[in-house]
Homo-oligomer: A and B are copies of this chain.
Amino acid sequence: MIHIRVLVPVTTTAVRQAGDVEHLAQPGVRYSIAFIETGPTSIESRFDEVFAVPAMVALALEAEAEGVDALVIDCMGDPGLAALREAVSIPVVGVAQSAMAALSSLAHNFGIVSTSPSTRGIFRDLVAIYGHERHFVGARSISIPVLDLKTHGSELHAALAESAIVLVRDLGAEAIILGCTGFFGCAEHIRERLAALDYHVPVIDPLPFATLMAAAFVRHGVTHSALSYPKNPRDKMLTGYSLPR
């Protein structure tokens, strides 16, 4: 049984509840979930990420010590991905990175439907670091704050579909990534709305997809490269933070 832990880089359960992982079921895999206790209530900018990442590192170290097989960062900014990979040896999967990688193999390019315009810098930085400039056509914001997502049922669906249509029709996107793990469960609806316009394109729901990739890495016996993410020796004093050894 592969054990995947979802690390949630926010301090509230407004958008993600522990029970959500039950919907991630795949054969031979069990899930657990952990939330940070210090940090922001949601992540919509590079500013917000700063305060989520220290606690994420601690969660990653704990999970590895417990024998978890792989980690998934539950936020489309992949906050702390490089640092977590420098901290632990088990695969750490960024949901944005795995969605982008997968779509680079299913479509000529992709667009991202995002929450607020303030996330634009996040996606740009990720695309540049991951080397997906050729595949990225742009992000389109629905202008609904993350913390309001749960209360926006059909309105959310409509806004996401509208943005996805703009990305495909006007910007030339040939695949879509849901740009926030708070959009969990919305992919099917968007796929149908696009298909109704004869746009038959893959739509990735980043959190569940990342868990499939994480399981694939575990089964294949691979993890992130230690040449790309050198293991941190942890030999330095770190005032104000206490990490598990």
Question: Using a CB–CB distance below 8 Å, which chain A residues touch chain B?
Answer: 11, 26-28, 37-42, 45-51, 53-55, 57, 80, 82-83, 86-87, 91, 93-94, 97-98, 100-102, 104-109, 117-118, 120-121, 124-125, 128-135, 168, 174-175, 187-188, 191, 199-205, 208-209, 212-213, 215-217, 219-230, 232, 236-241
Contact = CB atoms under 8 A, between A and B. Distances in A.
Given A40-B237, A86-B47, A107-B228, A202 B222 contact: yes
Given A204-B222, A216-B216, A225-B201, A50 B83 contact: yes
Contacts of A135: 131
A48 B203 CA distance: 28
A192 to B, nearest CB: 11
**In the assembly, how many copies of this chain are there?**
6
A40 B238 CA distance: 4
A216 B188 CA distance: 16
Contacts of A45: 83, 86, 230, 232
Contacts of A105: 93-94, 97-98, 100-101, 130, 213
Nearest to A101: B105
Nearest to A224: B106
Contact of A82 (B94, B125, B209, B219): B125
Given A46-B83, A129-B128, A51 B226 contact: no
A40 to B, nearest CB: 5
A123 to B, nearest CB: 11
Pick the 7 closest A-B CB pairs, nearest first.
Answer: A38-B240, A107-B225, A200-B226, A27-B28, A131-B134, A27-B27, A212-B216
A202 B229 CA distance: 12
A227 B226 CA distance: 35
